Structures are given as C-alpha cells and as structure tokens.
Amino acid sequence: MRVMAVGVFDLLHAGHLHYLEQAKSLGDYLTVVVAHDDTVRIRKHEPVTNHDLRRRMVEGLKPVDEAIVGNSPEVSIYDILPRVNPDVIALGYDQEHAEDSIRKRLQELGHETIIVTRVEGLSDDLDGTRKIIARILELSQTKA
C-alpha cells in the first residue's frame, strides 16, 4: 500500500520522525509531501528553512521512500494525488485537517478508495517546532 504524509517539516525534530514512522507502518511505500514555502507563509509562518532543504532532510529519514515539494498555495493539495497515487493519507495528530471533510472531497473527486487516518502524537513535551522555539527562547532569557 502507498502512503502519503504531508507537513511543513521546518526544523526537523523527533515529533516529525515519529509521525513518519507511524505513517510508514500503514503501508510499504511512503511519499511525503513537504509544504511549499508560499503555503507555509500563508498558513503558518515564515519558514526557517526553504522547501528544497526541508525536502532533502525529510527524504534522508529512514521511513521515507520519496519526498516531494507540494504545490504552490494557488493549487489544491488534491491536485497532487495523481502524482503520488496513495492508498492511504496519514495525518499527524496536530494537523488541522478535518478527516471527514477530506474524505468528502476525495469522494467528490472520485478518490473514495483512499483511506484517511490520523496517527498518534509523540508523548514528548518538545514534539513540535513552535514548542522547540519557545523552549530555546526561554533558555536564552534565563541566561541573560
């Protein structure tokens, strides 16, 4: 089974690895779609690293068979499905995507056989990029 995982993957950390390990366990080939820089700017923040570097970093992780950069924000994530051809879309525990709306849209587009599942998070207090940045800032203020 072909699995697709999506994310920003800015400042790669243990939570990212955990997500991709879980995604890989759902099938035998894992394609990771790394968010385009413009998408990150619109939906989250200014990326610390560019999408080409983030793609290279993600592709170097053991569970990942292939990593590609997603479309620019003007193009729907659904437009990448023919390229990836997933059987499963694995969502991270903290991703804001609503599984039901994704399933509905997949059905509308004729992809009703794709399974959408959410994987569990890592039980670590530093499992997210924003948490790591906040911790670094906290530590730097205590030393000042």
Closest CA to 30 of 94, 87, 75: 87
Strands 2-7 and 88-91: what pairing? parallel
pLDDT tens over the chain, length 144 residues: 999 999 999 888 888 999 999 999 999 999 999 999 999 999 888 999 999 999 999 999 999 999 999 988 877 888 999 999 999 999 988 777 788 889 999 999 999 889 998 888 766 665 566 777 777 788 778 765
122: which 2 tokens? 């890592």
DSSP annotation of 41 reads H
Q: Distance (Å, rounded) from C-alpha 122 to C-alpha 103? A: 25
Q: What is the CATH T-level fold of the domain 2-143, as seen in this structure?
A: Rossmann fold (3.40.50)
Q: Model-level pTM? A: 0.86
Can you name the residues that pair with 33 across neighbouring β-strands? Answer: 6, 68
Domain ranges in the chain? Answer: 2-143
